Structure formats: structure tokens, C-alpha cells
Structure 1
Amino acid sequence: MPHSELMPIGAFARRSGLTSSALRFYADCGLLSPAEVDPDSGYRYYSAGQLPRATGLRRLREIAMPLATVEAVLGAGPDDVSRLIDEHVGKVLGEAEAVRRQAALIKSSLAAVPGLPVTALKGPVLAGAIEQVLTATARDGGMPVLGGLRWEVAPEAVTLTATDRYRLSSRTLVPAEPAAMTWAATVDGDDLRAAVGEIRRCARVGVEATPHGIWLRLASRADQHCRLLAEEFPDHRLMLASLPEAITRVTVAKDALLGALEEHPGERVALSVTEHGMSVGTHPASPLPASVTGPALRVCFELITLYPAVSTAIGPDVLLDLRGPDQPVTIRSADRGDLTTVAMPVKHGPPA
């Protein structure tokens, strides 16, 4: 190739965003060899056609991708490129999460603050409750507390609560023994998700509080540490206390309602309740069999709000307490009321 069509290493470095030393390193690694090397001076030249590869190499290294993976990505087809990048990102995030959790453990141990026993719970029951209630959390950079689980411990009950502002889920558990103290705090949801597997495999879980976290003491397994969130949790008790009385109550088979929601094509769904049953979406001619008490109502929801509220209910039937088209709806199990979800409707739903 004529030299007039080649760029010296300095010019190529400026156009690609790589330093000259990085280009020499990648040439030695076989990732980006010069188009030509002057046999007398050893000076390296690059072509304009090499810029896309150089730019891609730089971008991949900016996300801390190992050289072996970079080489695989640069030589892969479009489908494999996406897969390899996603696998790398997943690995980096997993490693970062492991480092964060380990840092929390180190800080807790270096602080030398003993945990204060709070309560004890049955491991499988606690794990199930955490998974159910965490469905109502949200990742919100402006309100990190929405990603947490509120723990409220009283001598005879432990209540777990979460809210994403459109849904509020709460479950009350009976402790394995009367709680040692009254205590409340908001625990990091991601930490609890990571600990659920170990919690489920332990018959009894002791809960100990420290100034910045909780220890979940697991007999014969590694104890789990979860951070506390400092932000103030929304005043859910005031919201629950201010709910008006339900005017219509519906009991419907959980699987039938879930099936109808899964088949619904839109992002918003209307529940129409009459004395004949409950219709989902635009199918009033074929209502779901339901027990209805109270006047007919039509309430609209975002599907992503309603579906998790129904799916986490315990038992074959769900009970819906309706207060009006613009009022929160309470959803709970018809036969076991220890998991309760309050879902906010939307003002304008799909057409009837």
C-alpha cells in the first residue's frame, strides 16, 4: 500500500483514541497489527480501514474486558458479539456485588460492634416472605429506600413491607419465639435477595441488629450480613390507616385471574365487576366466575402493577377489596391474610 494512504502511528493514535504505547502493546498481542512496518526504521503505519477495529478495541477495554474476550468479540458475528458482551457485563456486576458485600462484612467486623439479638424466625418461612414482599420494591436513584424492605419487629409479630409508590406489599410473620425487643429498620433489598438461598436452607434464623446492618445467624451455615438503608421509609401506616372502607369485595380463583392477565395484550388492563363475575380487559361477555358483594365497578391498572400483586398471593383464591375507580385496591389471599398488597389504579385505562 502506498505510504500516502497510510498513517504514522501518532496520527492513527489521535484518530483512534488509543495512545501510541497502547498501539504497540496491541500489536505485540496480535490484536491490532500495523498495516505496514518500515524495514529500515521499524516505524509503524496504519490504514484508515483499521480505525473501526481500533475504536472497537478501545471501547471494549474501557469496560474492563480481558484481552482474550476482546479478541473473541472482534472476531465474532453480531449474535455472538452481544452474547459475549452481556456475559462480560454480568461477570463484572457479579464481582462488584461480591466486593460490595465483602466490604460491608469487613466494615462490620472492624467496627467491633456486637450484634443485638432482635428476633428469630423459621428460615423457609422468612425466605418465602422476603421473596413475596420484594416484588413491590423499585430501583429509583432518587429514592434508594424504595429498593429496601422495611422490618418492624414487635414481641409477637414481625412485619415486612415494601413499596414502589404504586404498590405496597406487607406480610406479617409469627416469630419462632417472642422478640427480644421492639425494633424497626429498612434493609437493603439486594442484600436480602442474595441471602435468600441460604436463609431457606436453615430451619431457624436469628436476627441481630448493628448500627449499619443486620446479621442473619444461620446454624451450620455461613451467617449473612445485610446493610441498612439510612433514608426514611415512606409513611405506609398513615396511608393504610387513611384508606376508605371497601364498597365491593370480589373473591376469584387466582390461576384463572392470572391466566386472563397473561393473555391480555395491552400494558393497561381494566377489571370490570358485576353481579355475574369479573371481566378482564375487553371480554365482558365471558366473565371469570367470582363471588361479588357490593355494586358494580370498573377499575384500571398498569399490568406490571396488578400482575405481581396477584401472583404472590398465597392459596387458590384471591380477595380484592375495591373502593372505587380511583381508589387503591387491597389484594390478599382469600384463606390466608398474612400477605397483603395495596395496588394503585390508573385514572384512564383501556377502552371498555
Structure 2
Amino acid sequence: MPNSEMMPIGLFARRTGLTASALRFYADCGLLVPAEVDPVTGYRSYSSEQVAHACDLRRLREIAMPLPAVRAVLDAGPAEAARLVDDHVAKVLEDAAAVRRKAAAFMASRTEAPGRPVAVVRGPVLADAVEQVLTAAGCDPDLPVLGGLRVEASCEAVTLTATDRYRLSTRSLVPAEPVSTAWAATVDGDEVRGAVAAMRRSVLVRVEAARHAVRFRTADGEERYCRLLPDPFPDHRLMLASLPEAGTRVTVDRNPLLHALEQHAGELITLRTTRHALHVRHVPRVPHVLSDGDVPPGARLPATVTGPDLQARFAFTTLYPAISTALGPDLMLDLRGPDLPVTIRSADRGDLITVAMPTAPDPRAAQNH
């Protein structure tokens, strides 16, 4: 190999972002062996072809990947390498969630007064409600409260609410024991998700409040601590109260609607009502005007419709979770207009309500229909 393609260890370190000591370490463990080693001086030289390999090694170590896993990734093909990295990230997140739970438990035991009883709720019902409602939570790093679960306890109910500003989902549960005093707080959504399995296994779950955390105590004594989020939660009650009356109401079978959404999944979904049907249509990524005789691809679902015909477009990722987590076999959709929220309720059980915001109306709607 010509000398012009070789770099001493100092230059190679600057090119790759690795220190000289790190390069010596990786050479000794066989992860990045120099291209040449002077037999007299011991000076190490690296080739330009090793730069990419060294940069990959540095990036993997920056995400705290252990050496055996780094070796496996560097030796693997693209698909297997991606899988190994995904597995590592999932484990890091799982470990981080466990650390946060243990830290919350430590802080509660050291700095908090004994937890104040908030409510006693049936465990499987609470687990289902958490999963249903949290589909509407967001993941905006600038607004962490949107990733939270609002918990409100009163003498009549325990109400769970989540919103990402485009969806809002709320469900009220009847407590298994009377609630002594009213209480409300926003709990970290990811930590509550981590407690769902324990909730589901317990006949009853006791909810206890402390200053910085909520403790979910199961029937067998297992305890799960979830941090409270300090920022104010959006005024969802005002938003719900300010919604105008629905102009069009649709009652439709949930399972065919889910199937239609899955068959026509895409970035946007159009819902259109006619006298006896709900029409579901996928909006293609590249919009086009339909010519005479063309029929938009989609599904026609039998439905009970009251009110005028109406059309609204939704992001698939907004509409589908709202439908998939609804209760019961029948759904009731309260439509207000192409640019106003739709309310999704179970026709036979009204304790889960989801509000979904449509996207901007389609200016080509008149041409396509």
C-alpha cells in the first residue's frame, strides 16, 4: 500500500474523532487493528479505507453499546446490523425506565410523607383504560406534559385524559371504593405504560399520591411509582365544553370500519357520509383530479346517518388509534364540519370519548366527488 494512503495514529485520530488511547485500546481488543505497525519503533499507521469503519465504531460506542455487540454489528450485514442496534436501543430505554421507577421509589421513601389514598380501581379495567387513553398522548420534547396521563379523582369517578393537541381521549372509571377527597395530577405516560402489566394482574389497584409521584399498589403488594409532571395540563374540559353541536351523527359497525382503514391506510383518510353509508377513502400521496367515470378507491360501509352529508380528512395516525381503542362493537361519530373535531364514542358505552382533529379541507373535494 503506498505511503500516501497511510496515516499516523495522531492524524487518524483527528479524522475519526477517536483518541489515540482509544485507538490503541481497540487495536489490542481486535476491533480496529492498524494497517501497519513499524516492527522497530512500534508506530501504528492506518489506511484511509479504515476511516469509515472507525467512525462506525465511534458512533456505536457513543450509544453505550458494549464491545461484543459492537463487534457483532460491524461484522453483520445492513439488515442484521439495524436489528442489533434496535435491540440495543430498546434495552437502553427499558433500563432507563427501570432506573426512573427506582429513583421515584427512592425519592418517595426518603423525602415524602406516606402516600395519600386517592382511589381504588379494578386492575384490569384500569389497565385497559390507560392503554386506550394514552394512544392520544404526544411525544413533543418541548412540551413533555403532552406525553402525560391526567388523572382526576372525585367522589363519582376516576377520569383519565391524554392529548397531543390533535387528539384528545378521556375515560371515566367507577371506583371500587368511594373516593374520600378530590385529587388531580398529571403522571408520566411512559412510566404508567410500564405499570400496565402489573395492573392487569391485580383484582384491585390502590392509587396513592405523594408530592412528586403516584404509587400504584397491587393486591399482592407490588408497588409501581410513576413521576408527576409539573407543567399545567391543557384545559381539556373547556375544550370539550366549547365544541359546537354535531351536525351529522353516524352509527357504524367498528370492525368493518377498522378493516376499511387498514385496507386503505395512508397519510390521509377521507370520511364521507351519505344517507345510509359511511365512505372511507385513502387520499393518495400524489393528488390528482379524477376523470369522468373514475371511482375513488375506498369502502362503503352501511351506517345510520342523521344530518346533512359531510366530508372530512384525517391523518391515518390520528384516526386509526381513536377507532381501534374504542369500546364495544358499534361506534358513534359526531361530525361537525370539515375543519372541526369529530367525537368518537361507543354507541353502547359512553365512558370513553375520543376527539380527533381533521386536517385542512381538500380543495379538490368538489372535483373528486
Name the counterpart of 2:316.
303
The change in CA–CA distance for 1:32 and 1:347 in structure 2 (over 3 A counts) is closer
Aligned partners of 1:150 and 1:233 also within 8 Å: yes
Which residue of the partner structure matches residue 292 of structure 2? none
Choose which of 328, 335, 347 in structure 2 pairs with 1:315: 328
User: Within 2, Cα distance between the matches of 1:41 and 1:312?
Assistant: 69
The 3 A distance-change label for structure 1 pair 30 and 112 is same
Of stretches 78-87 and 228-237 in structure 1, the one that deviates more from structure 2 is: 78-87
Alignment of 1:97-136 (within 5 A): 97-136=97-136
Tell me by how many angstroms 1:105 deviates.
1.4
The Cα offsets for residues 212-270 of structure 1, whole Å up to 9 and x where unpaired, read as 11111112142111111111111111111112222222111001111111122542222
The verdict on how the C-alpha distance between 1:53 and 1:273 changes in structure 2, with shifts beyond 3 A counting, is closer
Sequence identity of aligned pairs in percent? 62
Q: How many equivalent residue pairs?
A: 352
Partner of 1:79: 79
Aligned to 1:239: 239
Structure 1 residues 286 and 15: CA distance shift in structure 2, 3 A: closer
1:326 paired with 2:326, answer no
CA distance in 1, matches of 2:2, 2:266: 61
Q: Bigger shift: 5-14 or 227-236?
A: 5-14
Q: Which amino acid aligns with 1:214?
A: V
Structure 2 match to 1:279: 279
What's the CA shift string for 1:183-211, capped at 9, x where partnerless? 11111110110000000000011111111
In the TM superposition, residue 5 of structure 1 has moved relative to its aligned partner by 5.0
Deviations 1:129-168 (A, max 9, x none): 1111011101011211111111111112111111111111
Q: Which residue of 1 aligns with 2:46?
A: 46
Distance 1:42 1:306, change over 3 A: closer
Corresponding residue for residue 137 of structure 1: 137
Taking the aligned partners of 2:148 and 2:261, their CA distance within structure 1 comes to 27
**Residues 73-92 of structure 1 deviation map (CA, whole Å, 9 limit, x = unaligned):** 22222222212222222222
CA contact (8 A) 1:202 1:221 kept: no
Counterpart in the other structure of 2:186: 186
TM-score, normalised by the number of residues in structure 1: 0.94
Aligned-residue CA RMSD (Å): 1.9
Gaps of 5+ in 1: none
Equivalent pair of 1:332/1:340 in contact (CA under 8 Å): yes
Cα distance in 2 for residues equivalent to 1:58 and 1:286: 51
Distance 1:137 1:322 in 2: 22
> Is the alpha carbon distance of 1:74 and 1:284 closer, same or farther for their aligned partners in structure 2, counting shifts above 3 Å?
closer
Report the residue type matching 2:316 in the other structure. Answer: L
Residue identity matched to 1:317: D
Alignment of 1:177-216 (within 5 A): 177-216=177-216
The corresponding residue for 2:70 is 70
1:251 alignment partner in structure 2:
251
Partner of 1:289: 302
The two structures have a TM-score, normalised by structure 2, of 0.90
Match of residue 346 from structure 1: 359
